Amino acid sequence: MTKLSDLGPPKPGHLHGRDPVREEDIFYTCKICGQKVDMRDLRQVMWHEQPDHEPLEPSAANGA
C-alpha cells in the first residue's frame, strides 16, 4: 500500500485555487441595519459592532 508520505511532502495550495471560502462563510447579516457584512473586512465589522449606525455605502469593488 502506498503511504501518503511516499508521495512526497504536502503540497498546499494546489487544489481548486487557493481560497475556497464560500460567500455564506464570510458574510453575515447585521442585526441592526440589515446589511451584509464582509467578515474579512475589519472596517465593516467594527462599523456594524456599533449599537447605533446606518448601512455602509457599498464599495464599487464588491459589485454590490
Which residues contact Zn ion (rule: CB under 5 A)? 30, 32-33, 48
Q: Which residue is nearest to Zn ion (CB)?
A: 30
Closest CA to 44 of 52, 32, 36: 36
To the nearest whole angstrom, how small is the minimum distance from the Cβ of residue 59 to Zn ion? 15
β-sheet bridge partners, residue 38: 27
- For residue 31 the three cell numbers come to 442585526
To the nearest whole angstrom, how small is the minimum distance from the Cβ of residue 63 to Zn ion? 20
Which amino acid, residue 56? L
Question: Which one, 6 or 23, has the nearer CB to Zn ion?
Answer: 23
